[in-house]
Structures are given as C-alpha cells and as structure tokens.
Amino acid sequence: MSVLILGCALIAAQVMLSVAIVLAAWRVVHGPRAQDRVLGLDTLYVTALLLIVTFGIRTGSNFYFEAALVIALLGFTATVAMAKFLMRGEVIE
Amino acid sequence: MIQAPELPLWAAIVVSLLILSGASLTLIGVIGLTRLKTFYERVHAPTLGATLGGVLICAGSMLCFAVLQTRVIAHEILLVGFVLITTPVTLILLVRAALYRDRAEDNPHVPPME
Amino acid sequence: MTAITNRVLKLVLPYPGLTLALILFWVLLHNSVSPLTLTGAVIIGLLAPWTLVPLKVPRIRIKSFTACVKLTGIVIYDIIRSNFAVAAIILSGKRRERSSGFVTIPLDLTHSHALAVLAIIITSTPGTLWAQHDVDTRRLLLHVFDLVDKTEWIDLVKRRYEPILKEIFE
C-alpha cells in the first residue's frame, strides 16, 4: 500500500517536473532575447536537479545526490558566466 | 511496475505530499516563465521552484532516507542551501545585464541610470 | 590571559566563521562523523581560510545573534507567503489587471555585507527583485511583480528588513 502511494506520487511529480523542463526548454529555444534564453537555461538546471532528487527517492540510493550537487555547481557557474558575457561581451577581462 | 522504497504508511503519505507540492510549485513557476509578457516579470517566476519547491522536494527526500536507513541524512541541506544562495546571485547578475542591454538600446519601460 | 589567547586565535584562525562553515560543509558532504572525516574537516577548515588572507577580505562581525534568528524567521515566513502569492497570480492568468514595475528606495545601509544579505533576501523572495544599487546616491532600484502601491514596498524594505540588518551588522 505504501509502495503504491509513494510510487504514484513519484510518477506524478516526475511527470510535472518533466513538463516543467520541456517548458523551460521552450523558453530557451523561443527567446525572444538572449537574457530570456539564459533565464530559461538556469530554470532548466534547477528543475533537472529536482528531477534527479526524485529519482534518488525512487531508487533509495545516495548516489543521485552527487549528480544533483554537480548540476547545481555547473548551473551556477554557467549562468554567471553567461550573464557576464551578456553585460560585457567577454567572460574574463 | 511501480518502483518505490518500502516505507511505513505515515512516512509514505508525508513524503508523497511533500514531493507533490514541491513539484507543482516548480511547475507553476515554469508556467509563469512561459506565459508572462516581459523579461522583468519572467525573472520572478523561477524563484518559486528554487525556493519553496526545492525545499519541499529535498525535505521529502531527507525524510524518506531518514526513515529508510534509520539515521539522519542531512546532505540535502547542502543542496538546498546551495540552490537558495546561488539562484538570487545569478538572477541579480542577469537582471543587471538585461538592464544594461535595454539602456544601451534605449528601450522603453526601463528606468534611466541614476 | 584572554588577550593572549585572543591573539593566538587570531594567528591560527584568520576567519573563524569560515572555518566553522567549512567543517560543517565537509561533515555534511560525507554524511558521517567518523574520526577520518573529522580529521579531514579540521585540516580543510584550518588551511583553506588562509587563501583569503592575501585578498584582504574584511572579517564579518555579527553584533547580535538573537537578531539573526529573528531575521531568519521573518525571511522564511516572507518566502512562504510570497511563494503562494506569486503562484496564485500566475494561475489566475489574465483575469485580473496587474501591473509590475520599478520602485526606487533610498537606503540608509552602507555596510557591504548587510547590503549583500539584503540583496539575497529580496531576490530570493518571489515577487521582488534587486535590480540595481548605487553606492554614491545610496538608492536601490527594485522590481516588483505585483505593484499596487509603491509606499507598501518602500515600507517593507525600510521597516521590516533595514532596522534588523543594522542591528546585526552596524
């Protein structure tokens, strides 16, 4: 019974997060301006991280946590670099 | 074909509620990202998923592992803390860049430089 | 005696807060309190802060810890409340006329750490966004998602956050 409840909730949550990723990707493709694309990419990173956390709950293993942490670090660095690029035209001055 | 860890019933219900509310808040935030009209409105939307959405999902994960392995698993705190602190920083930088670009192009609806 | 211990402490630990945070980070990352993890944590906590010494980062002095706890409570309450407010606005769609716009707020805060904390608080609360701050004129440009009354938002920053941040840092 508890497996059924948690399993259904996990499927629903994963579907919702996947739809959120698709919508964020739509914003990346659609634009209209460069800052919108970067914002969409940042949202995509955070949503993908949450999706991986739900996968970790489903399998009950700790290994997904490390993948989520790497995504968090990479997402932050990538978005900061792109925001800096939009402002100055170069990343490292 | 439903795969999930074996938890006591109360824990399964609480974890399910936490995950579902977190995921729906994140989804609402991203819907806002696609539907709102201007860039400055859209920046507000993803903070939903990064703050309360993320905290709820990670709280669910923490509770699940704590019950499953009968010891305190706290490394989701690291994840939540990291996302909570970095998302505002990226958004501030992004808005600065957008303001700079809009002013350089003399777009309307943007306050001038002080 | 205490003066001597203070000086020795300052020689060994340039940034005690950072040392503590690094030890906590290491223990959380390994998710254990075994002797091996703790040794690693203490080594990292003692050595890593020295990389900041050549950069001359100013030390943070927290004046009041009760104010810190109070501020944390206020921020958690505000984040939860505005999460639901913004979610309701997004779900209601175009049924209601809504305007968003920029507000200029004159700030009294000058301490750079206090300003950084204020920026993080304001931006991580859905519905408000720190857009720009001018150090010379001390004016803050804020973007508000649901702008009905400008004075309401000026009050929020001036009355709710600024006094308590002053109490902590200045």
Residues of B in Cβ contact (< 8 Å) with C37: none
Q: Is the pLDDT of residue A83 over 90?
A: no
Q: Which residues of A18-54 are buried (b: 16+ CB within 10 A; e: fewer)?
A: ebbbebbeebbeeeeeebbbbbbbbbbbbbbbbbbbb
Instruction: Indicate yes or no: CB of C126 within 8 angstroms of CB of B48.
Output: yes
The pLDDT tens digits for B21-63 are: 999 999 999 998 888 888 888 888 888 888 889 999 999 988 8
B32 in reach of chain C (CB within 8 A): yes
How confident is the model at residue C97, as a pLDDT?
Answer: 66
Inter-chain contact C80–B52, Cβ cutoff 8 Å?
Answer: yes
Higher pLDDT, B110 or A29: A29
Percent pLDDT > 90 in chain B is 17
Highest-scoring range by mean pLDDT, A57-61, B2-6, B80-84, C92-96 = B80-84
**Which residues in chain C touch residue B90, judged by CB atoms under 8 angstroms apart?**
none
Examine the pLDDT at C26 and tell me if it is beyond 90: no
Contact B96 C145 (CB under 8 A): no
8 A C-beta contact, residue B109 and residue B38: yes
Q: How far is B99 from B93, CA to CA, in rounded Å? A: 10
Q: Which residues of chain B neighbour A24 with C-beta distances below 8 Å?
A: 30, 33
State pLDDT tens for residues C130-141.
Answer: 888 888 888 888
pLDDT > 80? residue C70: yes
Instruction: Classify residue B2: in a domain, yes or no.
Output: no
Quote the CA–CA distance of C96 and C61 in Å, as a whole number: 47
CA–CA gap between residue B50 and residue B11 (Å, rounded): 24
Q: Do B51 and C131 touch (CB under 8 A)?
A: no
Examine the pLDDT at A19 and tell me if it is beyond 90. yes
- The CATH code for residues A2-88 is 1.10.287
Is the CB of C79 less than 8 angstroms away from the CB of B50? no
Q: Rounded mean pLDDT of A12-26? A: 93
Instruction: Give me the mean pLDDT over the A82-93 stretch.
Output: 77
For chain A, what are the domain ranges? 2-88
pLDDT score for C114: 85
- B4 within a domain of the structure (yes/no): no
Amino acid at C144: V
Measure the CA–CA gap between C57 and C50, rounded to whole angstroms: 11
- C96 versus C106: which is more confidently predicted? C106
What's the pLDDT at A21? 94
From the CA of B104, how many Å to the nearest CA of chain A? 10
CB–CB contacts below 8 A, B to C = 94
C-beta of residue A84 within 8 angstroms of C-beta of residue A91: yes
Select from A28, A33, A54, A57 the residue whose CB has the most chain B CBs within 10 Å, as the one to mutate to test that interface.
A57
The residue that leads in pLDDT, A6 or A31, is A6
| Neighboring chain B residues of A9 at a CB cutoff of 8 Å | 15-17, 19-20
Per the model's pLDDT, the better-predicted residue between B17 and C147 turns out to be: B17
Check whether C65 has a pLDDT greater than 70. Answer: yes
B37 has a chain C CB within 8 A of its CB: no
Q: Do B33 and A23 touch (CB under 8 A)?
A: yes
Contact C28 B74 (CB under 8 A): yes
Residue C102 pairs with which residues in a beta bridge? C143
Yes or no, beta carbons of B87 and A49 under 8 Å apart? no
Could you give the ipTM of this predicted complex?
Answer: 0.86
Q: Which domain holds residue B73?
A: 9-104
For residue A21, which of B97, B46, B72 has the smallest C-alpha distance?
B46
Q: Do C90 and B35 touch (CB under 8 A)?
A: yes
Helix %, strand %, coil % of chain A (to 5): 85, 0, 15
Mean pLDDT within A27-47: 89
Nearest-CA distance from B12 to chain C in Å?
Answer: 23
pLDDT at C155: 84
Q: Note whether residue B109 is domain-resident.
A: no
Q: Report whether pLDDT(C15) > 70.
A: yes
Q: Does some domain include residue B110?
A: no
Interface A–B counts its CB contacts (< 8 A) at 190
Tell me, what's the pLDDT at B23?
A: 93
Give C89 to chain B, closest Cα distance, Å: 9
Residues in B closer than 8 angstroms to C137, CB to CB, are 114
